[in-house]
Amino acid sequence: MKSFAISVEPIDVAACARRLADDRAGALVTFEGWVRNHNDGQQVGSLEYEAYAPLAESEGERILAEARVRFALGGAVAVHRTGHLKIGELAVWVGVTAEHRAAAFDACRYIIDEAKARLPIWKKEHYASGATAWINCATRGEHAGGSAT
């Protein structure tokens, strides 16, 4: 089974954590990204995620492999949802194990930061007003929050 997955189904957190079970590990650090009800001063009603799955999965595996090398991890697993998600739903889950907590905290942070910056995944916000916007894709004259990063 792959360590990084794009999932159209809700993320099974218990199943993800079970895959990290390791008698040598003294620490498990997890990160959950949730769908939030506001962004950039606007009320958000839901979020739509779209992924270029083959490349997102291969790049996600690359990020996990980098983290394993940099932080002396036991295991690393991550899953990113796609589809139309409601407020409070789980959009991304990252879990890492290590002998000690410092490496696990650092690696978890590394993985989610790199995932946000590198994976070909996009989100469209649906606002209470009925308007929508692809995040980071605005150009001059459009929604001011979408500057390039």
Partner 1 sequence: MTRVNVQYFAILREQRGLTSETLETNAPTVSGLYEELRARHGFTLPGNRVRAAVNDAFVPQSHVLREGDRVVFIPPVAGG
When asked if residue 52 is in the footprint of partner 1 (CB under 8 A), the reply is yes
Which of 83, 105, 106, 118 is the binder for partner 1 (CB under 8 A)?
A: 118
When asked if residue 148 is in the footprint of partner 1 (CB under 8 A), the reply is yes
Phi-psi region of 141 (alpha: psi -120 to 50; beta: other; left: phi over 0): left
In sign, the C-alpha dihedral spanning 133, 116, 76, 34 is: negative
Residue with smaller CB distance to partner 1, 43 or 58: 58
Strand residue runs (E) in 9-143: 27-34, 38-39, 42-51, 76-81, 83-86, 90-98, 121-127, 132-134
Shortest separation between residue 70's beta carbon and partner 1, angstroms: 20
Which of the stretches 16-24, 47-55, 65-73, 100-108 binds partner 1 when contact is defined by CB under 8 A? 47-55
Residue with smaller CB distance to partner 1, 43 or 136: 136
Which H or E element spans position 123? strand 121-127
Alpha helices of 36-98 — where are they, by DSSP H? Answer: 53-71
Query: Are β-strands 83-86 and 42-51 bridged in parallel, bridged antiparallel, or unpaired?
Result: antiparallel
When asked if residue 139 is in the footprint of partner 1 (CB under 8 A), the reply is yes
Shortest separation between residue 25's beta carbon and partner 1, angstroms: 25
Question: What mask of x and - would describe binding to partner 1 in positions 77 to 106, judged by CB under 8 A?
Answer: ---x----------xx--------------
Closest CA to 2 of 90, 64, 51: 64
Question: What mask of x and - would describe binding to partner 1 in positions 18 to 37, judged by CB under 8 A?
Answer: ---------------x----
